[in-house]
Structure 1
């Protein structure tokens, strides 16, 4: 079985994340935790990479062989239908699944990948080189192939260096044989293409070719990104994937960050466990994805209402958070004070007294308290 990691609630919609040649599931470290708020995320390692055995495939392997391993993994987890996102070779696996197993693929995102990888000869030569000399020399040039100048992720470069040569070479065989251009029109799953604008391996034209062939497909180009966009520009990739996969939960997470701030949301995400994942999804999907995005009330008005409700029920820890949110939403200290004064009339003087103390502490942190 492919080595894998599962994150998010068991009841959430499943989303598989496929890696690029030479990397491990660590490629998704800056993206997967956020996606797991709304999905049961399954990351997997290619054979001979990360924790997956090289013996899962052999010489002459195909992308279809890798896709079969992904389906076997899904079956082992009791997952019948799933969404899928993959980078480079991982993206090719997604294309194969969408063409040959459409009943299994709900939605598809193909990142820095291609319907063909510029002919078989370069990959045949690389496979022969790796089988003869190993990966140390090839890994030295990983930064130039993967990232824009001056950027690197040492952990991913180390993954490249320590991959099993036989597994890596078999994956090169799969890339050499892959050409699905004539079958792209058969893809019926809603499809998103994500291109790194600085990607020399699979330039935006490769993604555009897929977008032109797949009915209704969308295309996003990310500036400042090379071949491993989820590692180099995770925020941009996450924004694109949320819009494609998440619906209300994805939109809600964006609003939640805008109102509460990245620091607070990052702490909440770090504390998330299998036990709390469904609750976090509930908050993102309904509170932030539906209520806070309703344009009937402005965010300023919603902040005033929220502070009042928190005072009424004595939720002062939450009140501190929402005083900070009120400042982000444009309320002045004077307006926050006026809201709390209103609560003295309708929620009680002791409650308002505690609320003023909390708010004064928060404002003092910002250097705004009298």
Structure 2
């Protein structure tokens, strides 16, 4: 957990400090816990920063007051980014957090490189109900709002007690100020100016921001993609974390095209990289980041040598040191890089001269097994 200065949004940072930053914004009435099912896996390859709205979670209530705007909230997020020395970042937000993301992308395009808008809108309907809710909360607290929250947030039968507890723990004045911001918010005409590659995610059973709101955003932002999730209501990251996680991972992974992660996938295959990322822990994340940035992002992307040549060099080095598990993986990679069985065999034969016959003997056994497995799998893959 991050210690936060008194005039800054409370936030939680996860993942390698050197990884591409991704800010995650919350919905009204929730906290950083909204992202519990999504953030840990994304943090294997990104510097995740979850933040709390004023008066929510650990953020000071006094950061906003009556008559607040989404622009005020966006300015607080920029203050947080400046505090963390993040000149440019990716962003994903839910509902009000998504509105903040749209404002940032429209008004500060130099700061947002990719955007995901989850169960949100360019305008949250008539301002009257929001002003009425703000007045209710200022007069009576959050009890009545909390009574109906589950019906707005989740499909029937689903619940998330932690999030409902977070709502009851929210500062009423700050919650009401956020309602003021939603009442006055309308970014419809500015959407066409958003240039960050954008993904819009909608819950098909969301009564608060129905899919029509998501389609409006996607239609107005040039090149935006739209994903509708079945069996999901307003807080899709809590209700359908796997689906949201995979959609975000695919969207934000595309920023890595030509980077270490992309090259690693091209050479070793998606299945291997997915397994490595799924097995990543807080302890191993720095090493995975190192591999992606240095081995794949600097060495394998250097155009001085072709990938075929790099595969030949790698096979020889692995034979010399007896790294047979890695050798098997890189025999598969060599085939992806265009080497045939005869070329691989010729490389291994040469290792017999310079690395020793026993080393070459073991290497031929490993490579023979892998090539046979790949040959046997080809007919099935072609069906």
TM-score tier by shorter-chain length is 0.7 to 0.9
Q: Deviations over 1:98-128 (max 9, x none)?
A: 1111121111111100000011111111111
**Aligned equivalent of 2:83:** 76
Distance 2:292 2:277 in 1: 13
Which of 121, 137, 141 aligns to 1:130? It is 137
TM superposition score normalised by structure 2: 0.73
Partner of 1:121: 128
Q: Which moved more, 1:307-316 or 1:12-21?
A: 307-316
Q: Give the aligned partner of residue 332 of structure 1.
A: none
Aligned counterparts of 1:19 and 1:127: Cα–Cα separation in 2 = 19
Gaps of 5+ in 2: 1-7, 302-306, 333-347, 367-383
Find the aligned partners of 1:102 and 1:112 in 2 and give their Cα distance. Answer: 22
- Contact kept in structure 1, 2:20 and 2:46, CA below 8 Å: yes
Correspondence for 1:278 among 289, 300, 306 = 289
- Decide whether aligned partners of structure 1 residues 73 and 96 sit closer, same or farther in structure 2, where only a CA change above 3 A counts: same
Match of 1:86 among 89, 93, 96: 93
1:241 aligns with 2:252: no
TM-score computed with the length of structure 1 as normaliser: 0.75
Aligned with 1:161 (options 157, 168, 171): 168
Aligned to 1:365: none
Deviation at 1:279, TM superposition (A): 2.6
Does the aligned pair in 2 maintain the 1:23–1:50 contact within 8 Å?
yes
1:15-94 matches, within 5 Å, as 15-94=22-101
Local SS of the residue matching 2:30: coil
Q: How far 1:313 sits from its partner (Å)? A: 4.2
Kept in 1: contact 2:280–2:288 (CA 8 A): no
| Residue 143 of structure 1: aligned partner | 150
Q: Is there any run of 5+ residues in structure 1 with no aligned partner, and where?
A: 291-295, 327-341, 357-370
What aligned pairs does 1:186-197 form with structure 2 within 5 A after superposition? 186-197=193-204
- Would the alpha carbon gap of residues 348 and 196 (structure 1) be closer, same or farther in structure 2, given more than 3 Å must change? farther
CA distance in 2: counterparts of 1:239 and 1:261, whole angstroms: 11
What is the CA deviation profile of residues 167-206 of structure 1, one whole-angstrom value per residue up to 9, with x for unaligned ones?
1111111111111112211112111111111111101100
Q: RMSD value over aligned CA atoms? A: 3.8
